[in-house]
Structure formats: structure tokens, C-alpha cells
């Protein structure tokens, strides 16, 4: 294998590892959406992990990109994701608050699977 082939193989490996790391961070956001109790905490999980994870994923794809123009576009997309993510989350939370959706206050205990609903759940 010649030197250019080794450089390309190393670039592909590093880009793949960076992209996989971004996907792993986004997996944390998915777990937060599944686990957290209300919209506001779910939005927090999604914003912090998916914005960062998607940007890291785009950086990994930029490393793998076959030419410089595509790499620049992917890096611009990563910057756009980092800038727009918090704005969209703020708009969603503001709309939910204006619509009357209150966050869960006090101690929260998750319901057990298959258990009957509690009598005091409405209060």
C-alpha cells in the first residue's frame, strides 16, 4: 500500500471514530427523552446532547469528505446546528409555557410498569 492509501485509511478511521462518538452522545439524548418525566426536562436532554452530538457527527463526516468544498459545507452545517438548536428549544419551551403546560414540581417517582395508577396522581 502506498503512502496516500495509508493517509486515506487513517483519515477514514479517524473520521469514523469522531462520527461514532457523535452518535454515542446523541444516544444519551434519546435516553433522556425516554426517561425524563416532562417536556421541559426532555427538551433539556435533547438540546444539550443532540446539538453537540450532531455537530460532532458533522465534523466526523467533514474529515471523511472527499473534497474540501464538501468538508466546508459540513463544518458550516455543524455551526448552524450549534446555533439554531438552543433557539428552537427556547421557542418550544416558551410555546409550551404560554399554552399552560406546567413543569412537574416536587419529587417525582416514576410509575412501575404494570402497576395500578395512584389515587393522588391528579393532585
pLDDT tens sequence across 20-55: 999 999 999 899 888 888 889 899 888 889 889 999
Q: Quick check: 52 and 90 in contact, CB under 8 A?
A: no
- Quote the mean pLDDT of the chain: 88
Residue 108 located in a structural domain: no
26/49 Cα distance (integer angstroms): 5
Do the domain assignments include residue 51?
yes
How many domains is the chain partitioned into structurally? 1
Is there a domain that residue 18 lies in?
A: yes
Report the alpha-carbon distance of residue 107 to residue 100 in Å, rounded.
21
Residue 112, domain member (yes or no): no
35 in a domain, yes or no? yes
Q: Which pLDDT band, with edges at 50, 70 and 90, does 121 fall under?
A: low
With respect to residue 113, please indicate whether it lies within any of the assigned structural domains.
no
* The dihedral sign for the CA sequence 51, 55, 60, 65: positive
Instruction: Give the separation between CA 46 and CA 40, rounded to whole angstroms.
Output: 10
Q: For residue 107, tell me if it sits in a domain.
A: no
Q: Kindly state the cell numbers that stand for 90.
A: 427556547
CA–CA dist 123, 119 (Å, integer): 9
Q: What is the per-residue pLDDT for 3? A: 83
Range of the domain at 28: 7-93
* pTM listed for this prediction: 0.79
Amino acid at each position: 500500500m502506498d503512502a496516500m492509501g495509508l493517509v486515506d485509511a487513517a483519515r477514514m478511521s479517524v473520521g469514523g471514530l469522531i462520527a461514532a462518538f457523535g452518535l454515542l452522545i446523541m444516544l444519551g439524548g434519546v435516553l433522556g427523552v425516554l426517561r425524563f418525566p416532562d417536556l421541559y426536562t426532555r427538551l433539556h436532554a435533547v438540546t444539550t446532547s443532540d446539538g453537540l452530538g450532531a455537530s460532532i457527527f458533522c465534523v466526523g463526516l467533514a474529515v471523511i469528505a472527499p473534497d474540501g468544498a464538501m468538508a466546508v459545507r459540513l463544518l458550516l452545517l455543524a455551526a448552524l446546528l450549534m446555533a439554531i438548536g438552543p433557539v428552537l428549544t427556547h421557542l418550544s419551551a416558551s410555546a409550551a409555557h404560554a399554552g399552560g403546560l406546567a413543569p412537574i414540581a416536587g419529587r417525582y417517582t416514576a410509575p412501575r410498569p404494570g402497576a395500578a395508577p395512584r389515587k393522588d396522581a391528579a393532585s
